[in-house]
A = this chain, B = another copy of it.
Amino acid sequence: MEPKLEELKQRLAEIYDLRRASSVLGWDQATYMPPGGAEARGRQIATLDRLAHEKFTHPTIGRMLVELRSYEGSLPYDSDEAALIRVARRDYERAVKVPSSFVAKFSAHAAATYEAWVKARPANDFAAVRPMLEKTLDYSRELANFFPGYDHIADPLIDFADYGMKAATVSALFAELRKNLVPIVQAIIAQPVADDSCIRQSFPEAQQLAFGQEVVKKLGYDFNRGRQDKTRHPFCTTFSLGDVRIATRVKENDLGDALFSTIHESGHAMYEQGIRAELEGTPLAHGTSSGVHESQSRLWENVVGRGRGFWEYFYPKLQTAFPLQLDDEPLDTFYRAINKVERSLIRTDADEVTYNLHVMIRFDLELQLLEGKLAVRDLPEAWRARYKSDLGLAAPDDRDGVLQDVHWYGGQIGGVFQGYTLGNILSAQFYEAATKAHPEIPNQIPRGEFGSLHGWLQENIYQHGSKFTANEIVKRATGQDLTIEPCIRYLRTKYGELYKLQHPE
């Protein structure tokens, strides 16, 4: 290999180690850390993040990238080496615009805000975190302003997570999706409400966790290279390609919560576990964008995991795990329960039809906050107003309103939520492409065979890590650019049948 490239890779591996170490500290903070550890932990994470940033933005890296330009030009576009240099350059050009001191300040602030939110949410005390959130908004705007020349102040933040996307693109896409979703929601809520009481019984925690683990093992999540722990807000985190962990919470009286979040997080995790080992320690060793990442969690959680075929295989096993609760419940009752559509207050509890409406509220509020059209002090009220207008509901308190999601309290405002809906759109698009390539997939799922689907994802998405951009991955894997058509088709078909809708459009 080109010696300059070897040298660059060594430097990048050191930075990668610092970032992964920071992830371990973050995982511990969210799973096992005692309260007394919080203060120092915020500082430790900030130190690691700052050092990683300092090392990555060191002029030597810039010089190496310049010196490698002609070598890069001699390589095929889709070689690992060309991709490594290309992605490192893109990340570098982005990173040098943000001073290390800013990264450290913001990182420490985010850790402290997270700790405050952990206390404020159960106490329903938005006022306790408001000053911190105001500072977060300042920091978020400051962060965006390190990238002048944007069309919208959210653009740089969106671009971090979903490279190639802008506020205007996303807004247009979301408007189109909303136009299609609202009539489906209207048609469904005109029907009798589905009965989900069968999954609202008491389900002991240990069995819930054991069953979830059995399921995701079968889907292809490798517990030799991962593990599951308990936390407040489910997440997936990567310490190396050989150690990709998931964490979830368990609600004793809601069977769906732990189960579907386990499948969801294992979808993220299988993506990272599937990255080719050759990419380890490089900037290519993670999923390519927030939207593509979310498409992998959503594909397994919803398109597969809430499908009827899936439960033809797993429902008898679930009944065996919970005989007292489910022995007398037919599969169809359960299937309708896990796909109950209703306008609700909590995004993470939302069904797949209304879910995107929750995301759009947050996305729009993020834009308004960043534009300066909405003040943090008015955010709880703006939140309530949007829930009223979009979902017909009024949150009784901030706990289930503006305090419900960790995101703004553990990072920046802006560029955070669009990925969820991009992921939902892509999950249907990828699944359609997979079944086109392997028409046997829908018949395999009821037999508990997930190898063809997992293999297609591995081949077309997982293995590449960040080697290709989201747009490139979508085009290569599906032959098309991102499109909402498969998503709309999927929802109309599934919910048309479920709710016996005549003209779902």
Contacts and interface: CB of A to CB of B under 8 A. Distances in A.
Interface of A: 13-14, 17-18, 20-22, 24-25, 28, 32-41, 43-44, 47-48, 51, 222-227, 229, 239-243, 245, 280-281
Contacts of A43: 13, 17
A123 to B, nearest CB: 18
Contacts of A242: 34, 36-40
A34 B217 CA distance: 14
A243 B25 CA distance: 12
A112 to B, nearest CB: 14
A243 B17 contact: no
Given A21-B25, A25-B21, A36-B225, A243 B280 contact: no
Contacts of A40: 20, 239-243, 280-281
A51 B242 CA distance: 23
A239 B47 CA distance: 14
Nearest to A50: B14
A149 B431 CA distance: 70
B34 A227 contact: yes
Nearest to A226: B34
A280 to B, nearest CB: 7
A224 to B, nearest CB: 5
A363 B245 CA distance: 41
A51 B41 CA distance: 19
A43 B240 CA distance: 11
Contacts of A22: 21
Given A47-B18, A48-B17, A243 B24 contact: no
A32 B229 contact: yes
- Scoring A32, A36, A227 by chain B CB atoms within 10 A of each residue's CB, the highest score goes to A36
Given A21-B25, A24-B25, A48-B17, A37 B229 contact: no
B240 A34 contact: no
A278 B262 CA distance: 43
Contacts of A47: 14, 17-18, 21
A223 B21 contact: no
A45 to B, nearest CB: 8
A240 B33 CA distance: 11
Contacts of A222: 36
Nearest to A229: B32
A239 B37 contact: yes
A202 to B, nearest CB: 21
Given A24-B25, A43-B17, A36 B226 contact: yes
Which of A48, A239, A245, A281 neighbours the largest number of chain B CB atoms within 10 Å of its CB?
A: A239
Q: List 8 A-B pairs, minimum CB-CB distance, nearest first.
A: A37-B243, A40-B240, A36-B225, A36-B242, A17-B47, A17-B44, A34-B227, A36-B224
B18 A240 contact: no
Contacts of A51: 14, 18, 51
Nearest to A15: B47
Contacts of A32: 227, 229
A229 B33 CA distance: 11
Nearest to A47: B17
A37 B223 contact: no
Nearest to A273: B36
Interface centre among A37, A48, A229 (most CB of B within 10 A): A37
A39 B47 CA distance: 24
A33 B227 CA distance: 8
A280 B41 CA distance: 13
A282 to B, nearest CB: 13
